[in-house]
Amino acid sequence: MDFLLELLQILVFPGILFAIGLAFVYEWLDRKIYARLQNRVGPLYTGPSGILQPFADFIKLLAKEDVVPNEVDKPLFNALPIFALTLSLTGFLALPIMDLRGVISFNGDLIFLIALMTLICIVIMYSGISSANRFSTVGAERAALQLLGYEIPMMLSAISIGILASSMWVYDIVSIQANSLWFLIGPGILGFAIFVLCGQAELERIPFDIPEAETEIVAGWLTEFSGRKLALFRLTKDVELLYLSGLAVALFLGGPSGPVIPGLEFILYPLYFLLKTLFVLFLLTTLRALFARLRIDQMVNFSWKYLVPLAILQVLIVRVVV
Amino acid sequence: MQEEELQKTEKKSAYELFFDIPVGPQHPALKEPAFFKFRVEGERVVGVDVDVSYNHRGIERALEDRNYIQNIYLIERICGICNVAHTLCYAQAVEQLHGKEIPSRANYIRLMVEELARIHSHTLWLGVAAHEIGFDTLFMYVWRDREVVMDLIEMLTGNRVTTAINTIGGVRRDVSDEAKDKVKKGMNILEERLKYYRKVALNDPTVNARCSGVGILKPKDAIRLCAVGPTLRASGVKNDVRRDDPYTLHDEVPFNVITFDTMDVFARVLVRIDETLESVNMVRYCLDHMPNGDVRIKLPLSPPVGEAISRVEAPRGELIHYARSNGTKNPERYKVRTPTFENLPSVSEMLTSKSDYEVNIADIPITLASIDPCFSCTARMEFRDVSKGKTWIWSLKELKAHCSKSRR
Amino acid sequence: MSMLKEIQKSLFKKKATVLYPFKEREKVHIPEGFRGKIVFDRDKCTSCLLCARFCPSGACEIVTDEKGKRPIFHLELCLFCSQCQEVCPKGAINLTEEFELAAFDRKAFTIR
């Protein structure tokens, strides 16, 4: 029975199916809020207020012709979209949603979660290089450079929370925040800001959408992907958005914890998770609407001049508090 | 830079790190077909090769087959955005052939619509520029507020873009008092919004980061490469046809020639925003000082034999039309020189890295956009063998070779 | 930070988009004197053929019917410049404010 329950958890709730469904809804919300901030309407006609639009886009792309150019590295080119999706879904499984611990949960899983994000970026790099396209190559190069920029402050801010909880286990971090309101908003606030900014870079959204900057290098590393592969990459991006906001919630906003009525945890926990991730999503979307795209050198500059020192400061603050 | 020079740079490189990035004929940064081949070393641009000979429409030849009235509507379609400037320039040239002056009220209306079109063109450009640097929110806001001026143009002329208001001997529609009030209201909204966008451009850190110090064109180079319009003025050269060679009523209506001396894309943004604010004031002046009277004089269809040149400051720069009449109802020769064509050499200058400043791949779209390019009016010449149905284009080298052969 | 204020404002402002073809049709404001679909009055026409002479795009075809020569307007060629309306001495040609001219049938583009 336990095995079956676990399988159900991985496949349906809060596992893969839930992740994909929620990812589509979040993409819709992201587009809707972005449109709202720009005084537009956003998706409108597919489903009520266009809620099915991301899903419809996905289906449409699945049905499109899948072009594989002659010059590409075929095994890599075909496998990379699946790799990317697998990585982001795996990450989602480790997030605490129904419980204070995720479906996958082990001591030290924070390191695993951060490594996953870097791996996704490496997949992106490979997909750019394997495409054998000039725009893709430039995109891959930029993705790698950008990784050098945002990875260190992101890790530092995540690790500072680990130091705060004296553990590298997301479960420990969430429970310590669940037990004390001070840890929830106090020492981690700077880290949260850094994490959200770096998350924006990880997700390649304005102002850090440099690797796929449309007006400069067409679609960057995505240029050669079409049909099913593009659909999978888009889904990856959506799941990654969800995963990143979930991780920010788990690390800085106390995960799914909140005031609960005993016996109703299984409803209230996912509800709190949704509310908190929505808040992070709103922050991410507002950032997207607020700025112009930076140049790659400016991004790396910004990151090493401001984000890294601030992240170190965050670690110091945490050190003093503990 | 020409092909040979590009090859030279290849030989000079110690590392085999150069490769070419094609921008165009189809590229998200370009709204019209043109081809730019950039030689890059990582993110750094070391050379550029420009080819704009796509989409040759043969308008100058077509003008010779139509009568002077029909030509108004053909001239208008050289460029959709600056159609008012084109028809104005054409009408002036033909009136010059006739040797007639048009009524004063017509001149006021011409000037007003010209300035409204300038507002519409510059705000359009501001939105496009915001999109090129990835600032989609600003793009959406600017284009939303641009609707104000589009509605005014539609109300005054009967169409949003192709206005067809200028005609030979005056304008085709009068401005009613109600319309005047509406234009005044619209100008108040626009002034407020434009001042806000000026503030955004000056204060936003990312806009500053992307535009300052990018696409530098020194005044010396700008004059040497014959830059015109806002591109030239952003390099600090005070040059404006409206001031230097006043047409319609530009010597009466007060305005300032806006210049900036930072020579970069940022200066071009500010020049255009400030020029739009000047245009708002000029429209207001026209509304207040418009005399009563006729808006049009009747002129015969065929002008007398002669030649005429007229100049207009189009939103993109100086526009020159040349007309030659042989006394029939069709022009014998008509020549149009568009501002984008003049600005293209400056683009390759801006996009080539020098010892003191570097051009990144990321700077390409905004630098290209900074001259407000309109490529469909740049294709100048192509050859057509009617019997074989073949069309081809000669490069300068081939043309020279052909000339020296035929001379022998 | 002026951008942040504007963004906050538009979060609660009415959307600028007009949902034109599906909803809010009435909000599309067409001003007086808009140059739209051509209407032709056969009774006023005197067969002077000025419209065809000045039409810049050849959208005016001259045919002969029982009352003599008359124009037929092909909207697929028309530029909507209203030059024909301007030259018509009898006011037989008028450009209306109708602008929804898309059709599946080519015959719908021919104004008799």
Taking alpha carbons only, the member of B62, B55, B122, B97 closest to residue B336 is B62
**CA-based nearest distance A231→chain C, Å:** 29
DSSP codes, C29-92: PPPTT---SEEE-TTT-----HHHHH-TTS-EEEEEETTEEEEEEETTT-----HHHHH-TT--
Residue from A37, A205, A210, A215 to probe the interface with B (highest B Cβ count within 10 Å): A215
Q: Please give the residue of chain B at the shortest CA–CA distance from A205.
A: B134
Structural domain contains residue A55: no
Of A40, A289, A290, which is closest to C15 when you measure between CB atoms?
A40
Give Cα separations from B131 to A104, B139, B264 (angstroms): 42, 6, 18
Q: pLDDT tens digits, residue range C67-88?
A: 888 888 888 888 888 888 888 8
**Contact of B157 with B164, CB cutoff 8 Å:** yes
Residue A19, domain member (yes or no): no
Q: Per the CB < 8 Å rule, is B360 touching A293?
A: no
pLDDT of residue B407: 59
Residue of B nearest to A36 (CA): B137
pLDDT at B7: 56
Give the mean pLDDT of chain A.
86
Cα–Cα distance between C65 and C69 in angstroms, integer? 6
Give the span between the Cα atoms of A287 and A274, in whole angstroms: 20
Subunit contact B154:C34, Cβ cutoff 8 A: yes
B151 CB-side CA count, 13 A: 19
Cβ contact (<8 Å) for C17 and A37?
Answer: no
Q: Which of residues 8-67 of C touch A (CB under 8 A)?
A: 10-11, 13, 15-17, 19, 22
pLDDT at B13: 47
Phi, psi of B312 (to 5 degrees): -140, 145
Q: Nearest CA to CA, how far is B194 from chain C (Å)? A: 13
Strand pairing class (B170-171; B166-167): antiparallel
What radius of gyration do chain B's Cα atoms show?
22
Give the mean pLDDT of A302-308.
90
Name every chain C residue with its beta carbon within 8 A of the beta carbon of B74. 56
Chains touching chain B through at least 3 C-beta pairs below 8 angstroms are: A, C
For chain C, how many structural domains are there in total? 1
Q: Is residue C81 part of a domain?
A: yes
Nearest CA in chain B to A209: B134
Neighbours of A45 (CB within 10 A): 11
| Beta-carbon contacts of residue B98 (< 8 Å; ≥ 6 apart) | B168, B169, B299, B300, B303, B304
Walk across the sheet containing C60-65 and list its strands. Answer: C60-65, C68-74, C110-111
- Comparing CB atoms, the residue among C1, C2, C81 nearest residue B164 is C81
pLDDT of residue A184: 63
**Residue C83 is assigned to a structural domain of this protein:** yes
Q: How far is CA A114 from CA A100, A109, A111, A152, A164, in A?
A: 19, 9, 5, 11, 17
How close does chain C come to B268, measured CA to CA in Å? 21
Contacts of C29 in chain B (CB under 8 A): 151
Least Cα separation, residue A161 to chain B (angstroms): 30
Residue A119 lies in a domain: yes
Which chains share 3+ C-beta pairs under 8 angstroms with C?
A: A, B
The answer to the question of residue C65 being in a domain is: yes
Which token pair is B152? Answer: 């005014």
Residues of chain C positioned with their CB less than 8 A from the CB of A45: 22
Element holding B282 (H helix, E strand): helix B265-289
Determine the length of chain A: 322
Phi-psi region of B308 (alpha: psi -120 to 50; beta: other; left: phi over 0): beta
pLDDT value of residue B14? 46
Residue pair A22/A88 in contact (Cβ under 8 Å)? The answer is no
- CB spacing of C15 vs A41 below 8 angstroms: yes
CB contact set of A240 (below 8 Å; sequence gap of 6+): A88, A91, A120, A202, A203
Q: Is C12 inside any structural domain?
A: no
CB-nearest to A213 from B27, B144, B362 is: B362
Q: For residue B304, with 0-12 CB atoms within 10 Å meaning exposed, 13-18 middle and 19 or more buried, which class applies?
A: exposed
Q: How many angstroms separate the CA of residue B287 from the nearest CA in chain C? A: 20
Residue in chain C nearest B163 by alpha carbon: C81
Q: Which residues of B fall within a CB distance of 8 Å from A37?
A: 137
Contact A39 C3 (CB under 8 A): no
Q: What gap in Å lies between CA A298 and CA A302, rounded to an integer?
A: 6
Residues of chain C positioned with their CB less than 8 A from the CB of B199 = 2
Q: How far apart are CA B45 and CA B192, in angstroms?
A: 39
- Dist CA A76 CA C30 (whole Å): 56
Question: Nearest CA of chain B to the CA of C108: how many Å?
Answer: 22
Positions in chain B whose pLDDT score sits under 50: 1, 11, 13-15
Residue A13 within any structural domain of the chain: no
Do the chains contact at C55 and B74, CB–CB below 8 Å?
Answer: no
| Cβ–Cβ under 8 Å, residues B174 and B109 | yes
What DSSP element (H or E) covers B38?
A: strand B35-41
Residue of B147, B158, B200 lying closest to C82 (CB–CB):
B158
Q: How far apart are CA B316 and CA B330, in angstroms?
A: 29
- What residues make up the domain containing C48? 29-111
Give the E-state strand segments of B247-365 in sequence order. 306-314, 317-325, 331-337
* A51 domain-assigned: no
Chain C residues whose beta carbon lies within 8 Å of the beta carbon of residue A34: none
C78 contacts in chain B (CB < 8 Å): none
Angstrom distance (rounded) from CA B346 to CA B255: 27
Report how many Cβ contacts below 8 Å link chain B to chain C.
Answer: 59
Of A311, A306, A255, the residue nearest A280 (C-alpha) = A255
Residues of chain A contacting C16 with CB distance shorter than 8 Å: 39-40
Q: Is residue A14 part of a domain?
A: no
pLDDT tens readout for residues A15-74: 788 888 989 999 999 999 999 888 888 888 888 888 999 999 999 999 998 888 888 888
DSSP letters, A125-175, are HHHHHHTT-HHHHHHHHHHHHHHHHHHHHHHHHHHHHHHHHT-S-HHHHHH
What is each CA distance from A272 to A246, A250, B276, B365, in whole angstroms?
11, 11, 50, 44
DSSP state of B383: E
- The domain in which residue A177 lies consists of 68-321
Distance from CA of C56 to the nearest CA of B (A): 4
Q: Please tell me the total count of domains within chain A.
A: 1
Long-range contact list for A50-56, CB < 8 A, 24+ apart?
A51/A25, A52/A28, A53/A28, A54/A24, A54/A25, A54/A27, A54/A28, A54/A238, A55/A24
What is the CATH classification number for the domain harbouring C107? 3.30.70.3270
Residue type, C84: C
Distance (Å, whole) CA A159 – CA A117: 15
Cβ contact (<8 Å) for C56 and B155? no
Q: Do the chains contact at C83 and B73, CB–CB below 8 Å?
A: yes
The reply to whether residue A216 touches residue B364, judged by beta carbons under 8 angstroms, is yes
Q: Given B131, B140, B206, which is nearest A215 (Cβ)?
A: B131
Residue B277's pLDDT is what? 92
Domains and CATH numbers, chain B: 3-53+344-407 (no CATH), 59-342 (1.10.645.10)
